[in-house]
Every structure is written in structure tokens, then in C-alpha cells.
């Protein structure tokens, strides 16, 4: 079928690249007119030896546009090697010519000057630079096709041959075949390597039948089948999912004197087995390979290492690494990149960084993929300083960041609550000649939505069309979800209407988010209308939407309606999950029907969906609220017997309940059991115990009422927050009482110290917090970054940066590194007060404590990272693409 289409269509490449071209070439009329003085000055300098090292020449060409570059090349047109060398050099120096669009424009200018000899050399160079980019090779092919159509320009045989190899490397089989047909049409004779390249290109795309037909025509021309063509056919069958056929070709190669198999053939089969999930067979094939005297290559091992990593078998992957090193097979860049990537995904950043250093020590130059994996890992942990250090290292090592690099960095900035910084980074993306993608915009939209800055998120959404990108369902779903959480349902519905109008598919996630919003605001009518639409269009694939209805009805204690929805769910053939049953249990507990709730636990076990820790938590809480504390403890034991480990929330509920009941000693018994169970106490546990200690000084009903009021208020506070009411009432000796009790219960007092110190600091009682810090240090305990942030934030609010510096020094002495946010706040404060030397010293401290090894790499980004967020709209950013050619270019 492929060949029939090819034979009947004209050999125009334009339809295949035109749709993928995202940026049109700049019009030749938009750039400044050439300066004869600049051209003559540069031309004169090129005649001198070692002209590449001339700083004067570098300054002259840093803003040199393609018009001027073409004039310089034209003035040396007789010296083709010099012209080629200058073209390559100026592309790294001129901000107008360093990206593919600028170079292609220069190609047009060379064509208009009829400098065809230089053009052919330049084209070979540009094709080589496109070996890793589909978009750039399509732009280049489009430009060549355009010049062919308008000016009759023809490329020569070396260009064709190099283009075929590039397209084969990029898995662009159909395009390679079209280029091959055009080459023949232009009167060039193909060599054996060209035939093999086309076969390989077709096979890489899984076009096995087309490749076999092509091979038949090659055989008629007198060319023999060699190991390269056979191996390509093995590859094609693997890519097409025809492993049986791949093994048939492999067996044919192995017979007699056909051609034999090599390491590449084995590696392809190993990869095919791994792709099919047949890892054990792939490992066995590797062993067979060694037995037949064909040692596994770095590619063979890398394929197996990646497959084991994808399965989560990291230890096995490192065993394979050890094996390959013992056999004298050196890991390559791809091997290291696979291992760095999996370690980053597992959150093992120190090990990933160690592997990266090992890679450098081995003399390998990491590629963009390797850097991106590390940057992504650091950003996920919120370590943006280390991530930007890597960006600086990339730039210094001439490893050009791609759009994914910046996307990772922008996501990292949003993760630490700095979405405006991410918008600033967008400017750098554009100035580096990269275009933002829909992923870029979705990261920004998500960042601003999470920060509650919906107006700014909408500005970003609105700007997407300026870049030729249309918002997708992710873009709108983030708005709908955020608006629903803010109970702005009318606006959320408006976004849904926009999606429908634009023809964007309404997925289950989008509709469920809106249903959840309607349910939580009590608008069940609209929720059910959407729900019926989902049922009608068969968009229900999980019980999640039903769970939302069950949850809201259960919380309103409408048990009849709950039962009706549950029956409707079963009618649609959806199997209740543990979440579904837990919601039902919660509804029964809210209705006070504890016997029915306990029966539901038994029903879950019978249905093969045993209760989990959250189910037990709800029932234990219900029993405690009903005053059945002994029954709650019995259920706790039953839960442990069922091999479900209690969490700190269950223990906090029991502790709180005993404190409210005035049974503080029993509360401490629960704490003792909690510590023996290996569970650490949280803020709620310490809050309840501290309230209990305070209330011992009161009598009777006053104590019970006060403890109940205080605890219920405090239990609404987040786990990492401190209850101010309690800390305003307590004295320091109450803190020591709590600490002594925790030690008696066998607990590690660090969490108690942290709770007390942050609570006191949060209410401005720094001197008393300091007493506790000094005591914890005497016990060999070091404060953490949360404690340091709390203290430093207090002094920053009062603009007392001298005390901030004093405390930072003290925290270092205690073995604690303050957070990046703390450093940033103090550095900016010092800069605002004109204390620049102190700010610089603090920056050095920050970099050292962040683990930065190359301070010169990170230095260009320090001010960007440290300075405060400046909330502002993005209008100037929205039009950057349009005005890029007019703006002053930065020097490289």
C-alpha cells in the first residue's frame, strides 16, 4: 500500500512537514539594513590567524543578524572552508543566528547570492545538527523544498545521503523513502549504504512489508543481503509486534553461511522481548548470546537495565550494571541516564547525583535527557537551587536546554509557591529561541490555581492562543476544579460551557470535579443533571462519582437516599471499593447507628473488600463520640489482629477523647501504646495532652467544658499548625511536664520539643522557645528547618535582620540548615537595608548548605531565585514572540 501511494503522488515533501512547522521564518524586511562598515571590519578580522579567539570579533558578531552574516560570507566566497568555519562559529556567537530559524534564514540569503558551493557544505552541517530534533529537520526540509520550488535549487548527493541517515535516526521512515525517491528522480545513483539506510528507516517505523518489497527491488539490482539488512528486518518485526517473525529472520541469519548474527541483532531481540513484557526470556537470550561467543554490548545491558527499572527491580538493575563492568563492558551515556532517571523517580537524589558524578569521571558528556532527569528530581523535592545550578552547568558545557528542561524548572518554582517566578522564566525560554508548549502553559495555570491566583491563571490561559496553542481539557479542568473548591460554581459552569463550545471532550475527571463542587454547595439538582449526562454518554468507569453523592448524602445523614444511590451504583455494574464502603460506614456513624456500622465492617470482610485503616478510624471516632471508649479500644485490638496497623489519627482520637473525659492518665497510657507500636505522635496528640495538663489546674465541669472546647477548636487546625490559644495560656513549666511525661511513655521527645518551640515562637514567646531549643541541644537533638523557619520568620516580620543573622549562625552550630525561603527573606531584607556585604555572605552560606558545588554556574540565577515575588500581569510576555525580531538581543 505504501508503494502504491508513493508511485502515484508527486515527490513533494511539503505536505509532510508543513503541519509541523510552528514558527514561520522572519521576513527579510524586518531586520536592519546591512552596515558596510561592520561587514568590512569583520571580513578583515577573518583574514588574521586565530580569529575565533578575538574578543573584538566576538563583540562585533554578538548582535550580527543573518543579512550581515551573509554579506561577510559572500566577501570570502572563494574560500569555502573559511566560510563554513565562520558559519559554524557565528551560529554560536550571534543571538540572531544560533537557533535553526536564524540559520535557515541565512540559508535563504546564501541562495539569493547563488553561493551554492557554500550552501551544500552548510546544509550537511545543518542536517547533522538536526539528528535529535524532528521539528528542526522538518523545518530544514521545508526550506529546501521551498527554495527548490521558487528558485530551482537542487541539493547534491552528499546532502541527500546525510539527510537519509538523519531521517533514519529520527525514525522517520516514510519521509526517508520520499527523500530517496526524489534523489533518484534528480538523477543520483544510490549506493549500498543508501539502500541499507532506507530499509532501516522503514523498519524503525514497523513498515516491514514495505521494507521487504524494497529489499526485493534492491536484490534485482545485484546487491546482496547482508547482516545489516537482516538486522533491520528483525527490528521492523519487533517494532510491529511480530516477535515470532523476528525470531524467524534471526534463525535464518544463524543458518550456515547466510550472514551470521551480531551483538546488534541480539540487542534488538532483547529489546523486543522487554517491550512485550517478557523480561525473563530477554535475560535468558542475553545468557544464550554469551554462550554462542557473542558478548552482550553496552546497548544490550542498557536495554535490560531499563526494563528492570521500569518493573521497579532497581536492585536487579544494579546487579546487571555490576555484571557488565566485571565483563569489561563499559556503561555508556544511555546506561547512566537510565539509572540516574530511575533513582530520581525513586527520590534517591544523593545516589542519583553520585551516579551523575561517576558518569562525568568516566569521561562521558551528559546529554539534555540526563540533566532533565536530575533537574526533575531536584524540583520534585523543592530543591530549586540545585536544579538551577544544573541549568547553569548545562549552559557552560554547551548542552542546550530544551523546553522540557524549563518546564521542569517552572514546575519546581510552582511547587515551592513561586508561580510568578515561573512566569519570569518564560521570558528566558523565549529569549533562548524556544517556544512554550501546552505543557508549559498548563504548568503555569496549575501553579496559579494552586496559589489561589485565578485571575493570573486566566491571563495565562488567554495568552495561549497568542502562541498558536489551544487550551486542552487539562487546562480547563484545573480551573473547574479550583473554582469548585472555592465554591464559585457559576464560573466553573462557564468554563464547562466553553469546553463544549470548543468541542473539547468532557472526561470523567472534569465532570466529577464539577459534580463534587455542586454537591458540596448543596446544589444536588445540578449535580444529578450532570451525573445523568455522564450515565447517558457512558463516561462512568469507576465508582468515584457515586462516592461523591454517597459522601454528601451521608454527611447530611440522609440514609434512605444513600441506600438508593448505592443500589443505583450496583445496578450499573460498578463494584463498590473500600472507599465506597468507608463512606457508607461514615454515614451510619454520623446517624449514631454504631451497631449497623460494626455490621458493615463484617459485610466488607465477607464481600472480599476488608476495612482499611480509614474505615476503622471512622468507626473508632464514632464510638468515642458516643462515649464508648472501651469499645473503641477493643476495636483497636481487633484491627491490629486483622493486620491493619493503626495510624496516628486513631491514637489522636483516643487521646483527645480520654482528655475530654478527664482521664488524662489513661490518655498517656494510649500514648505509651502508640510509641510501643512504633507510631510517632503528631500535633493533635500533643495538643490534647497539653490541654489536659493545663486543665488539671481547673475543677469539675469547668475543666471538662474548657478541654472539650479547646480540643475541638484545635483539632480543626492543620497538622503542621500550632494552637495559639493553648500557647497563650501555658507557662514554661507546663512544657517541661509534657516533655517528662513523653519520656516516661518511652517516646522520642524531638516531636514534642518541635511542637512546643514552634507554638511558643508562633505566639511571640521567643525567649521561652529559646530555653527549650537549648535544652533539646543538650540532649543531643538538633532543631530542624521548620523550627528555624518559625524563629527566623518572627524576626523578619519585625525587620530585625540582625537577630536573623544571629539565629542563622546558631542554627548552623546546632547542625540545622535553615530553609531556602528563610535565607531568601533575610537576604532580601539585608539588601533593602543596604547591608550588601552581609547579604553576599549569606548567599554563600545558602549555596554551601544547599550542596552547590559550582557557584559560578548558579550565580546568574541567584538574584532571580532569592528576590521577592512581584505579582504582575503578563501582557509584555504575551507578545514576546511577535516582537522578538525587534528587541535588543542579549549577549551570549
Per-chain mean pLDDT for the chain: 84
CA–CA distances in Å: residue 419 to residues 276, 386, 415, 480, 863: 41, 18, 8, 19, 16
Phi, psi of 541 (to 5 degrees): -120, -10
Least confident of 170-179, 392-401, 534-543: 534-543
Q: What is the pLDDT of residue 771?
A: 95
pLDDT for res 698 = 61
For residue 749 the three cell numbers come to: 521527645
pTM of the predicted structure, to 2 decimals: 0.76
- Does residue 183 belong to any structural domain of this protein? yes
> 580: which DSSP letter?
H
Distance (Å, whole) CA 96 – CA 32: 12
Nearest to 164 by CA among 192, 143, 206, 135: 192
Distance of alpha carbon 250 from alpha carbon 65, whole angstroms: 54
Give the integer Cα–Cα distance in Å for 207 and 3.
11
Look at residues 850, 849, 851, 782 and name the one whose alpha carbon lies nearest to residue 816: 782
Distance of alpha carbon 816 from the chain centroid: 29
The answer to whether position 888 is within a domain reads no
CB 116 within 8 A of CB 74: no
Q: Which three cell numbers stand for residue 5?
A: 501511494
- Residue 368 in any domain: the answer is no
| pLDDT at position 699 | 52
Residue 122 CB contacts under 8 Å (≥ 6 apart), including other chains: 84, 87, 107, 110
Instruction: Calculate mean pLDDT across residues 708-735.
Output: 62
Lowest-confidence pick of 231-235, 342-346, 529-533, 754-758: 529-533
Q: What is the C-alpha separation between 649 and 655, in angstroms, rounded?
A: 10
The strand ranges marked E within 370-509 are none
Is it the case that residue 165 has pLDDT exceeding 50? yes
Cβ atoms of 782 and 816 within 8 Å: the answer is: yes
Does the residue 861 lie in any domain?
yes
Element (H, E) at 671: helix 664-676
Which one of 189, 215, 230 terminates a domain? 189
Average pLDDT over residues 342-346: 92
Phi/psi of residue 292, each to 5°?
Answer: -90, 10
What is each CA distance from 478 to 125, 510, 596, 802, in whole angstroms? 44, 8, 39, 43
Q: How confident is the model at residue 669 (pLDDT cuts 50, 70, 90)?
A: very high
Q: Which residue has the higher pLDDT, 289 or 36?
A: 289
Least confident of 173-177, 549-553, 723-727, 779-783: 723-727
Taking the CB of residue 772, how many other CB atoms lie within 10 A of it?
23
Q: Is residue 210 part of a domain?
A: no
C-alpha cell at 189: 545513483
**Is 171 part of any domain?**
yes
What is the C-alpha separation between 573 and 538, in angstroms, rounded? 12
- Among candidate residues 161, 189, 217, the one where a domain is terminated: 189
DSSP state at residue 255: S
Q: Each residue of 434-492: pLDDT tens digit?
A: 788 899 999 999 999 999 898 899 888 888 887 788 898 899 999 999 998 888 888 88
Total domains in the chain come to 2
Q: What is d(CA 465, CA 420) in angstroms, rounded to the nearest whole number?
A: 20
Dihedral pair phi/psi, residue 516, rounded to 5°: -60, -40
Pairwise CA distance, residues 654 & 20, whole Å: 62
pLDDT beyond 80 at 330: yes
**Is residue 798 in some structural domain?**
yes
**Averaged pLDDT for residues 140-152:** 90
pLDDT given at position 717: 35
Segment 152-161 mean pLDDT: 91
What is the C-alpha to C-alpha distance for residues 392 and 378, in angstroms, rounded to an integer?
14
pLDDT of residue 723: 61
CA distance 771 to 753: 11
Identify the top-confidence range among 69-83, 126-140, 329-343.
329-343
- Structure confidence at residue 716 (pLDDT): 39
Q: Are 294 and 266 in contact, with CB atoms under 8 Å apart?
A: yes
Query: pLDDT tens digit string along 357-415?
Result: 999 888 888 999 999 999 999 999 989 999 999 999 998 888 888 899 999 999 999 99
- Report, as an integer, the average pLDDT of 606-617: 92
Out of 100-109, 643-652, 729-738, least confident range: 100-109
Distance from the first to the final alpha carbon of the chain? 50
Q: How far is CA 403 from the centre of its chain?
A: 12
Range 528-550 average pLDDT: 79
**From CA 320, how far away is CA 314, in angstroms rounded?**
10
341, 347, 348, 349: CA torsion to nearest 10: 80
Single residue among 134, 169, 189 that ends a domain in this structure = 189
**469 occurs within a structural domain:** no
pLDDT of 892 > 80? The answer is no
Lowest pLDDT segment from 338-352, 699-713, 762-776, 860-874:
699-713
The Cα–Cα gap between 94 and 890 comes to: 10
Q: Are 471 and 458 in contact (CB under 8 A)?
A: no
Containing structural domain, residue 835: 782-872
Amino acid at each position: 500500500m505504501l508503494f502504491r501511494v508513493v508511485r502515484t503522488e508527486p515527490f513533494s515533501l511539503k505536505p509532510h512537514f508543513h503541519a509541523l512547522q510552528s514558527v514561520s521564518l522572519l521576513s527579510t524586511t524586518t531586520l536592519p539594513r546591512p552596515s558596510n562598515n561592520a561587514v568590512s571590519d569583520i571580513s578583515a578580522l577573518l583574514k588574521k590567524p586565530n580569529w575565533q579567539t578575538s574578543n573584538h570579533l566576538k563583540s562585533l558578531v554578538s548582535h550580527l543578524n543573518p543579512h550581515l552574516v551573509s554579506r561577510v560570507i559572500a566577501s570570502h566566497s572563494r574560500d569555502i572552508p573559511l566560510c563554513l568555519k565562520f558559519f559554524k562559529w557565528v551560529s554560536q556567537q550571534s543571538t540572531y543566528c544560533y537557533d535553526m530559524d536564524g540559520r535557515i534564514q541565512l540559508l535563504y540569503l546564501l541562495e539569493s547570492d547563488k553561493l551554492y558551493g557554500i550552501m551544500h557544505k552548510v546544509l550537511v552541517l545543518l542536517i547533522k545538527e538536526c539528528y535529535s530534533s524532528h521539528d528542526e529537520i522538518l523545518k530544514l526540509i521545508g526550506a529546501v523544498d521551498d527554495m527548490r520550488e521558487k528558485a530551482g535549487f537542487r541539493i547534491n548527493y552528499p546532502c541527500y545521503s546525510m539527510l537519509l541517515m538523519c531521517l533514519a535516526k529520527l525514525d522517520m521512515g516514510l519521509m526517508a523513502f520520499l527523500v530517496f525517491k526524489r534523489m533518484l528522480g534528480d538523477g543520483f545513483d544510490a549506493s549500498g549504504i543508501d539502500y541499507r539506510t532506507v530499509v532501516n528507516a522503514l523498519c524503525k517505523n514497523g513498515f516491514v512489508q514495505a521494507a521487504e518489497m524494497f529489499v526485493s527491488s534492491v536484490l534485482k539490482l545485484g546487491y546482496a543481503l547482508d547482516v545489516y539488512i537482516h538486522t533491520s528486518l528483525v527490528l521492523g518485526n519487533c517494532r510491529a509486534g511480530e516477535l515470532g517473525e523476528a525470531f524467524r529472520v534471526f534463525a535464518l541469519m544463524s543458518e550456515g553461511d547466510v550472514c551470521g548474527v551480531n551483538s546488534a541483532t541480539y540487542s534488538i531481540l532483547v529489546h523486543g522481548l522487554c517491550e512485550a513484557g517478557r523480561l525473563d526470556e530477554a535475560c535468558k537470550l542475553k545468557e544464550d548470546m554469551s554462550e554462542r561467543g557473542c558478548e552482550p554490548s553496552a546497548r544490550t545491558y542498557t536495554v535490560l537495565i531499563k526494563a528492570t527499572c521500569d518493573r521497579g527491580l532497581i536492585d536487579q538493575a544494579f546487579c546487571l550494571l555490576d555484571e557488565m563492568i566485571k565483563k569489561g563492558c563499559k556503561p555508556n551515556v544511555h546506561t547512566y541516564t537510565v539509572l540516574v532517571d530511575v533513582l530520581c523517580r525513586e527520590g534517591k537524589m544523593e545516589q542519583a547525583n553520585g551516579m551523575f558524578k561517576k558518569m562525568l569521571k568516566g569521561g562521558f558528556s551528559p546529554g539534555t535527557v540526563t540533566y532533565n532527569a536530575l533537574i526533575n528530581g531536584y524540583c520534585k523535592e523543592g530543591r530549586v537551587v540545585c536544579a538551577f545550578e544544573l541549568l547553569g552547568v548545562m549552559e557552560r558545557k554547551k548542552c542546550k536546554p530544551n523546553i522540557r528542561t524549563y518546564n521542569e524548572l517552572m514546575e519546581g518554582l510552582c511547587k515551592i509557591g513561586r508561580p510568578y517566578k515561573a512566569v519570569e522564566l518564560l521570558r528566558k525560554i523565549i529569549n533562548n529561541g524556544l517556544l512554550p508548549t501546552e505543557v508549559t502553559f498548563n504548568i503555569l495555570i496549575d501553579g496559579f490555581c494552586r496559589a489561589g491566583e485565578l485571575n493570573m491563571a486566566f491571563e495565562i490561559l488567554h495568552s495561549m492562543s497568542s502562541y498558536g496553542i489551544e487550551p486542552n481539557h487539562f487546562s480547563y479542568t484545573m480551573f473547574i476544579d479550583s473554582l469548585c473548591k472555592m465554591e464559585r460554581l457559576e464560573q466553573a459552569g462557564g468554563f464547562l460551557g466553553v469546553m463544549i463550545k470548543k468541542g473539547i471532550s468532557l472526561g470523567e475527571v472534569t465532570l466529577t470535579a464539577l459534580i463534587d463542587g455542586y454537591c458540596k454547595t448543596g446544589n444536588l439538582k445540578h449535580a444529578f443533571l450532570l451525573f445523568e449526562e455522564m450515565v447517558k454518554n457512558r463516561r462512568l468507569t469507576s465508582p468515584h462519582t457515586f462516592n461523591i453523592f454517597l459522601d454528601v448524602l451521608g454527611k447530611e445523614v440522609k440514609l434512605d437516599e444513600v441506600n438508593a444511590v448505592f443500589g443505583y451504583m450496583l445496578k450499573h455494574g460498578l463494584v463498590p471499593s473500600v472507599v465506597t464502603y468507608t463512606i457508607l460506614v461514615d454515614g451510619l456513624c454520623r446517624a449514631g447507628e454504631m451497631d449497623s456500622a460494626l455490621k458493615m465492617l463484617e459485610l466488607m470482610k465477607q464481600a472480599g473488600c476488608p476495612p482499611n485503616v480509614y474505615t476503622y478510624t471512622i468507626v473508632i471516632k464514632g464510638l468515642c463520640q458516643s462515649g464508648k471508649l472501651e469499645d473503641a479500644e477493643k476495636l483497636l485490638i481487633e484491627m491490629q489482629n486483622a493486620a491493619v496497623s493503626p495510624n496516628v489519627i486513631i491514637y489522636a482520637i483516643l487521646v483527645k477523647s480520654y482528655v475530654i473525659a478527664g482521664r488524662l492518665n489513661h490518655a498517656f497510657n494510649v500514648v505509651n501504646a502508640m510509641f510501643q507500636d512504633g507510631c510517632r505522635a503528631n500535633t493533635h496528640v500533643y495538643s490534647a495532652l497539653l490541654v489536659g495538663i493545663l486543665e488539671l489546674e481547673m475543677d469539675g465541669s469547668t475543666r471538662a467544658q474548657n478541654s472539650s472546647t479547646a480540643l475541638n477548636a484545635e483539632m480543626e487546625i492543620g497538622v503542621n499548625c500550632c494552637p495559639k490559644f493553648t500557647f497563650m495560656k501555658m507557662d514554661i513549666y507546663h512544657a517541661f511536664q509534657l516533655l517528662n511525661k513523653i519520656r516516661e511513655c518511652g517516646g522520642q521527645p524531638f516531636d514534642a520539643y518541635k511542637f512546643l518551640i514552634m507554638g511558643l515562637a508562633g505566639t511571640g514567646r521567643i525567649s521561652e522557645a529559646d530555653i527549650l531549643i537549648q535544652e533539646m541541644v543538650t540532649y543531643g537533638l538538633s532543631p530542624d528547618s521548620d523550627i528555624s523557619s518559625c524563629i527566623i520568620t518572627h524576626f523578619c516580620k519585625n525587620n530585625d535582620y540582625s537577630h536573623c543573622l544571629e539565629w542563622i549562625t546558631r542554627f548552623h552550630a546546632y547542625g540545622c540548615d535553615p530553609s531556602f525561603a528563610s535565607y531568601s527573606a533575610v537576604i532580601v531584607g539585608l539588601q533593602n537595608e543596604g547591608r550588601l556585604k552581609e547579604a553576599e555572605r549569606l548567599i554563600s552560606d545558602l549555596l554551601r548548605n544547599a550542596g552547590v558545588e559550582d557557584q559560578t554556574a548558579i550565580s546568574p540565577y541567584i538574584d532571580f531565585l532569592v528576590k521577592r515575588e512581584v505579582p504582575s500581569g503578563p501582557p509584555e510576555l504575551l507578545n514576546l514572540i511577535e516582537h522578538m525580531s525587534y528587541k535588543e538581543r542579549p549577549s551570549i
